[in-house]
Amino acid sequence: MTYRTPLPFHAATEIGTLDEATKAFYDREGYAILPALLSDAELEPARQAMRIKVDQIADELAADGLITETYAAEPFELRLAKIFGHLTDAEFLKYGRSWRDRIPGYFELMTNPKILNAVESLIGPEIFSNPVYNVRPKVPKVAAGAVPWHQDKSYWPDANSNPVITVWIPLVDATLENGCLQVWPRTHKAQVYDFHQEDYSGTGYYEISGELLVKAKRAAVPLPVSAGTAILFNDRCIHMSTPNNSNHVRWSVDLRYQPTDQDPMPQHGVGFLARSQAHPARVATMADWLAERPEHVG
């Protein structure tokens, strides 16, 4: 069977709100695409947070004598690629395969009303922002940039959290060359498949096992999208991304949301109440998030 990328969604009364056709596609296929959901201005706080992190990394590498140039004048999409251009995978992985820093720009992105409107369309107005959010700099020629076929649910198989919705957003255009997201549609209705910890990239990512890998490659649907597009998918939807074969960094974030009556997964960190119709006064503020408080206590 051939799966096709859905047509652009049609916003309802509020930007980001999904129409019935998009919701039906999501329920059937396990994912949906919201083209150009966020503007450059709305992405800028997150980009600035990433620049702060890159400044820290560059300064540390320079202090350790591993680089002689911090490339401060390079543009956003090129700078980290230049910094790690002559370093090893291990030197990159010192900073983690993904980042989860509490920098204000990330909170601004996670609480963007357009994103929350889209999530509300699928799970209702009581929304908890899951502690597992990731900033992913896919750097050219770094093995850690490739993410194997997996289900997010593999990382919390026993958690009473269903559904957990991933909102994946590229900060630069995601292409076949730089390793766009790929999905295996209609895999979200089953339970967690067998998986193992891969041992070839140095990251220890979880990967689905056995014959499923062969089937996944045959069923792959690449999703090249422009910066600011949001791809929503269920945490059981099998997905991956290939290595970055371009000359620039493929920056992306994956944010996660779930109903408030589900397991908040404290073993993975501190999430926060992002929206609530029942308890609006408890919705976390920026100060709450920075202090790792899951709710606002007035």
Q: What is the mean pLDDT of each run of 10 residues along the chain (298 residues)?
A: 39 74 96 97 97 97 97 97 93 90 97 97 97 94 81 85 92 96 92 78 78 86 98 94 94 97 94 97 97 93
Distance from C-alpha of 223 to C-alpha of 121, rounded to nearest angstrom: 22
DSSP string, 210-229: THHHHHHHHH-EE--B-TT-
Residue 25 in 3-state DSSP? helix
Per-residue model confidence (pLDDT) at position 4: 39
Instruction: Put the strands of the sheet holding 238-241 in their side by side order.
Output: 147-150, 238-241, 181-184, 221-222
Say what the pTM is: 0.92
Residue 282 in 3-state DSSP? helix
- The b-or-e profile of 247-282 (16+ CB within 10 A means b, else e) is ebbbbbbbbbbbbbebbbbeebebbbbbbbeeeeeb
**Cα Rg, the chain, nearest whole Å:** 19
Per-residue model confidence (pLDDT) at position 216: 85
Domain ranges of the chain: 20-290
Distance from C-alpha of 292 to C-alpha of 32, rounded to nearest angstrom: 31
Per-residue model confidence (pLDDT) at position 146: 82
Q: What is the fold, at CATH topology level, of the domain defined by 20-290?
A: Jelly Rolls (2.60.120)
Residue with tokens 């119709």: 277
Distance from C-alpha of 222 to C-alpha of 43, rounded to nearest angstrom: 23
Residue 6: partners with Cβ closer than 8 Å, 6 or more residues away: 22, 25, 29, 32, 33
The structure tokens listed for 291 are 């202090």
Distance from C-alpha of 73 to C-alpha of 134, rounded to nearest angstrom: 26
